[in-house]
Amino acid sequence: MSNRFRNGLTVVMLVVLAASAFAAGYLTRELVNGRGGSTLAHAEGDDMALFQEAWSLVEANFLGQLPESRQVTYGAIRGSLATLEDPYTVFIEPAAREVERERLQGSFGGIGAYITRSEETGEVLLEPIPGNPAEAAGVLVGDVLLAVDGQSITAEMTVPEIVDMVKGEKGTSVTLTLRHPGATEAVDISVVRADILLPSVVYRLLEDDPTIGYIGLSRFSGESGNEVGVAVQTLLSQGATRFVLDLRQNGGGLRDAAVAVADHFLDSGPVLYVDSQQEGERVFNATDETLAPDEPLVVLIDGGTASASEIVAGALKDRERATLIGNSATFGKGSVQYVFDLSDGSSVHVTSARWLTPNRQQLDGEGIAPDILVEVTQADIDDGRDPVLERATQYLLETALTPSP
């Protein structure tokens, strides 16, 4: 085993152990009491020597091709985390971490165009997003991308690799060599990159009743609070008097984004409690600057409603602000992960706290049951029907017709 590989593996494993110690209270106490130092030294000494002994035998005797040292390091990290038996404490490689970071930020530096590869011809095609730099620079729908900054696009390149070539910091330029639809000659187009928003929200007035504003939220990114705020204000200005907030298949995201979304419908008071060994119990409250404090509200849920989505659903249910309608209980993820970025762009996600609803309900493995359970059949799916949304519309209409006591 080379010294460079041995030293690199030691450093990465120590970073993982230190990150876990910072995130998990019981390890932090051991470090403070002086026992953590001996644990790390033991991991660096005897345990690392045992690993090196085993891997040296593999290197000397393995019949197949050995992986690169970085992949062995990644495997060692994953194996270490697997001993915790926690499905949410995980290691993320650099490329996947970058995608995750962009999704959570809600924006990235780019040109504002969809990039796909044709299944028929294998060509890489562009479709500019209206109002973004690619369209302004002259990129057309169906343009064939031939090169990026002089580097030719090859059949071996994957779409994610090509996307990485096109992306870059806001304000920088990228030269695209394109062939417009129907043309034979290639042209070079320079595009100045900008911050490209990755929308997490769609909204509209429902056709069946234009007094009902529908808001669909696909994830909780850094922009989601503002996006939902714009949706609520726009729908109110268009005549909405009741709302449907669709959190189905929303796997979560940022905790602060969940608090910001709930804040649009709650007038002060608790949104959630977070309990950790480092900080004890913290409460996250809504402000008194809500946009829709009284309008009737239904939240749509299913088994894919998880994490940050459950924060919002749980807060609105416990505060008696909304009625939950769905075909099943939510996923049941009541833990909080701290994300530690490592030196090579990878990251470690460490379960570090539990969160509770305003009524102090802990959701791990249980989820939140809908107030109104709706059966969804395969026939409904095949026919393109949405019985859950239909029931939500019916409920809001019935509520509007019910006289106040």
CATH of the domain at 284: 3.90.226.10
Assess whether 257 and 383 both reside in one domain: yes
Residue 101, SS3? helix
Domain containing 62 equals 3-85
Assess whether 130 and 9 both reside in one domain: no
Assess whether 323 and 276 both reside in one domain: yes
CATH number at residue 183: 2.30.42.10
Two tokens, residue 341: 């970025």
CA distances from 158 to 113, 125, 162, 166 (A): 16, 13, 6, 13
Assess whether 36 and 116 both reside in one domain: no
pTM, to two decimals:
0.72
Reading the chain (405 residues) residue by residue, the pLDDT tens digits are 444 344 443 333 333 333 332 332 222 222 233 333 444 444 556 778 888 899 899 999 999 999 998 999 999 999 999 999 999 999 999 988 887 877 777 667 899 898 999 988 999 999 998 889 999 999 999 999 999 999 999 999 999 899 989 989 889 999 999 999 999 999 999 999 998 877 889 999 999 899 999 999 999 998 999 999 999 999 999 999 999 999 999 999 999 999 999 999 999 999 999 998 788 899 999 999 899 999 999 999 999 999 999 999 999 999 999 999 999 999 999 998 889 999 999 999 999 999 999 999 998 888 999 999 999 999 999 999 999 999 999 999 988 655 444
Beta bridge partners of 237: none
Q: Classify residue 300: in a domain, yes or no.
A: yes
Looking at 167, 197, 227, the residue that finishes a domain is 197
State how far Cα 267 lies from the chain centre.
Answer: 27
Question: How far apart are the C-alpha atoms of 251 and 367, rounded to whole Å?
Answer: 13
Assess whether 150 and 132 both reside in one domain: yes
Assess whether 73 and 122 both reside in one domain: no
Query: Are 354 and 274 within 8 A, CB to CB?
Result: yes
Which residues are the active-site residues?
A: 307, 318, 333
Q: Classify residue 96: in a domain, yes or no.
A: no
